[in-house]
């Protein structure tokens, strides 16, 4: 059979989008029946915080495109935003620095993402909740009983496996992080690893890794969707949760469990210094004339060519800047073991399996083969993933 003709192809795509829309509508109607009512009127909240209707519509268009969905899904994204506060969330913290929670709480002026994150229904979060001791544990047990299969479990931090997990015990019963993780995640509708520690072990697992720390999957076998980064960008969790609200499923991921909509391309592919890379204009040492002119940071150790993330696009600190824009190369914080292999090097990676004498674009092609599996032109159609399809 040959390839379908253009008109056939577009009919097929339209049909698939119609089916996807139906699935979204059915799921959101079902959700309406099952979940508690919204705690706050989202439209009122936007008004109170000074976000105009026009800005909200602009945001929904941008988020729809970011999630690789066609514009017809914009009203569904708006509806999902209104329902954001209805999905109960349990946030577990294990071996980490709380930077992920900080990133999640960051906001100096309100934009739609920040307001959404403010409304999230956090039923349990050790740093933020008022309850302590037995009361906190009772709150957690209540979510597991009241919303089995309906709440989202977000895990921040690595899990120490050493001493049978006893390097990290939490609560009055002294449960290990392995026990808590298994108990809570087994009852969740979706499990999200927030940050590179939960995803890959990261800082707590860096050499010599005295506690034998691992990512959630490595320590427990529980598959997580990974919002990688140290810390990750909060925008990437907003989009992922919106997707879950719309379809009852997490977005499709690369082989490392990172959602393709946010981690499908390399830093190097989006970087504003890329024209200087292509022109062979490099910073040779810190403070030289190239540094003053904003040239490419590859030779002083930028790991953008090996790193999959959308930092140049979404930026940090109210979207004002990101590491390369601030003048330092990317240290690869969304990649496994970056503390051992990439961060300390203020020069290009020499490992021949990754870099060496290859050109940066060859490196990208190799990494694409390893880490990212085909982002289709109409990737929205493949953006629905069932639990258990990732981390493989
Ligand atoms: Fe810290 Fe989160 Fe890095 Fe880890 O971040 S910012 S060490 S990813 O688990 O708190
Ligand atoms: Fe940007 Fe780094 Fe790539 Fe240079 S090597 S273009 S600074 S991402
Ligand atoms: Fe991390 Fe590199 Fe982005 S260091 S924050 S992935 S620019």
Indicate the Cα dihedral angle 243, 248, 250, 251, nearest 10°: -50
Using a 10 angstrom Cβ sphere, with 0-12 exposed, 13-18 middle and 19 or more buried, the burial of residue 313 is middle
Neighbour-count burial of 7, counting CB atoms closer than 10 A to its CB (0-12 exposed, 13-18 middle, 19+ buried): exposed
Q: Contact at 8 Å (CB) between 152 and 90? A: yes
Which domains, ranges and CATH numbers included, belong to the chain?
12-263+374-382 (3.40.50.700), 267-371 (4.10.480.10)
Can you give the pLDDT of all 392 residues of the chain as single tens digits? 455 667 777 889 999 999 999 999 999 999 889 888 887 788 888 898 888 999 999 999 999 998 989 999 999 999 999 998 899 999 999 999 999 988 877 654 557 777 777 777 888 888 888 888 888 999 999 999 999 999 999 999 999 999 999 999 998 889 999 999 999 999 999 999 999 999 999 999 999 999 999 999 999 999 999 999 999 998 899 899 999 999 999 999 999 999 999 999 999 999 999 999 999 999 999 999 999 999 999 999 999 999 999 999 999 887 899 999 999 999 999 999 999 999 888 888 875 444 333 445 554 444 444 333 323 323 344 444 433 333 43
Nearest-CA residue for ligand 3 atom 3 is: 311
What is the pTM assigned to this prediction?
A: 0.87
CA distance linking residue 293 with residue 107, whole number of Å: 31
| Residue 195, beta-bridge partner list | none
- Residues with Cβ within 6 A of ligand 1? 96-100, 156-157, 195-197, 202-203, 230-231
What is the atom index within ligand 3 of the atom nearest the CA of 309? 6
Token duo for residue 159? 């899990």
Asked if residue 375 has a cis previous peptide bond (ω within 30° of 0), the answer is: no
Tokens of 301: 């150790």
**Which ligand is closest to the CA of 314, given by its number?**
3
């Amino acid at each position: 059979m040959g390839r379908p003709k253009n008109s056939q192809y577009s009919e097929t795509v339209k049909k698939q989008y119609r089916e996807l829309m139906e699935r979204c509508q059915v799921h959101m109607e079902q959700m309406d029946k099952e979940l508690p009512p919204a705690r706050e009127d989202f439209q009122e909240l936007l008004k109170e915080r000074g976000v105009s209707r026009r800005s909200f519509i602009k945001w929904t268009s941008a988020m729809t495109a970011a999630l690789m969905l066609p514009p017809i899904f914009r009203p569904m994204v708006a509806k999902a935003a209104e329902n954001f506060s209805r999905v109960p969330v349990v946030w577990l913290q294990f071996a980490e620095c709380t930077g992920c929670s900080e990133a999640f709480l960051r906001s100096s002026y309100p934009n739609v993402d920040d307001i959404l994150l403010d409304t999230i229904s956090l039923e349990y979060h050790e740093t933020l909740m008022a309850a302590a001791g037995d009361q906190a544990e009772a709150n957690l047990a209540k979510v597991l009983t009241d919303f089995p299969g309906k709440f989202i479990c977000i895990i921040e931090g690595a899990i120490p496996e050493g001493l049978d997990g006893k390097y990290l015990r939490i609560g009055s019963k002294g449960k290990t992080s392995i026990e808590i993780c298994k108990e809570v995640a087994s009852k969740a509708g979706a499990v999200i690893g927030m940050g590179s520690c939960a995803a890959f072990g990261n800082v707590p697992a860096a050499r010599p890794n005295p506690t034998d720390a691992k990512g959630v999957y490595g320590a427990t076998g529980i598959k997580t969707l990974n919002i990688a980064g140290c810390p990750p960008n909060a925008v990437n969790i907003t989009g992922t949760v919106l997707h879950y609200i719309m379809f009852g499923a997490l977005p499709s991921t690369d082989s490392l469990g990172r959602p393709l909509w946010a981690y499908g391309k390399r830093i190097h592919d989006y970087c504003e210094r890329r024209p200087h890379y292509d022109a062979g204009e490099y910073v040779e040492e810190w403070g030289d004339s190239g540094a003053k002119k904003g040239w490419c940071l590859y030779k002083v150790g930028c790991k953008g060519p090996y790193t999959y993330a959308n930092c140049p696009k979404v930026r940090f600190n109210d979207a004002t800047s990101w590491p390369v824009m601030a003048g330092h190369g990317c240290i690869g914080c969304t990649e496994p073991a970056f503390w051992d292999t990439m961060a300390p090097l203020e020069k290009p990676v020499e490992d021949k399996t990754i870099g060496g004498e290859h050109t940066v674009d060859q490196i990208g092609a190799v990494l694409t083969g390893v880490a990212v599996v085909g982002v289709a032109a109409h990737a929205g159609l493949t953006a629905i993933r069932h639990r258990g399809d990732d981390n493989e």
